[in-house]
């Protein structure tokens, strides 16, 4: 009978030690999760502050002020446009009037049976 009592006491001590171990592991994991949540919160705050800073730097009024201060840009005036008669002449045509289109002639000389990567082979009528 004493052996059974000793055995039960040993099992109870083992069970208590096992439960204590499980509790400590869960505490460590809970602390880790809380630390990760805090890290995520810090990263989100950093992202939010960077977005706010970007929005401030990218504001159109700020960019306009910087452009006016540092660039020698002026608004377009009507005197800056030229008339159509001052455009250069059209380049001479290499094809004489009445001759067939040279590019069309080159396309017509291509063998239709040639298969390339961009043109699949024609299907055989069966």
pLDDT computed for residue 99 by the predictor = 77
CB 56 within 8 A of CB 62: yes
> Tell me: the pLDDT tens digits for 64-101?
999 989 998 888 888 888 888 888 888 877 777 777 77
Please report, for residues 9, 11, 27, 33, 94, the alpha-carbon distance to residue 23 in angstroms, rounded to integers and kept in the order given: 21, 18, 6, 15, 90
CB 102 within 8 A of CB 94: yes
Concatenating the DSSP letter of every residue in 65-125 gives HHHHHH-------GGG---GGGSPPPPPPSSPTTSPPHHHHHHHTS-TT---SSSPPPPPP
pLDDT computed for residue 121 by the predictor = 66
**Kind and range of the H or E run holding 1:** none
| Percent of the residues in the chain that have a pLDDT greater than 90, as a whole number | 53
**Kind and range of the H or E run holding 55:** helix 2-57
User: Taking 90 as the threshold, does the pLDDT of residue 56 lie above it?
Assistant: yes
């Amino acid at each position: 009978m004493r052996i059974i009592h000793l055995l039960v006491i040993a099992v109870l001590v083992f069970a208590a030690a096992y439960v204590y171990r499980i509790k400590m592991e869960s505490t460590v994991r809970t602390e880790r999760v809380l630390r990760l949540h805090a890290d995520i919160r810090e990263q989100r705050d950093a992202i939010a502050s960077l977005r706010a800073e970007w929005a401030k730097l990218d504001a159109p009024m700020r960019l306009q002020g910087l452009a006016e201060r540092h660039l020698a840009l002026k608004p377009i005036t009507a005197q800056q446009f030229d008339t159509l008669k001052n455009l250069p002449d059209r380049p001479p045509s290499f094809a004489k009037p009445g001759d067939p289109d040279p590019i069309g002639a080159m396309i017509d000389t291509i063998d239709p049976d040639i298969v390339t990567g961009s043109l699949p082979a024609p299907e055989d009528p069966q």
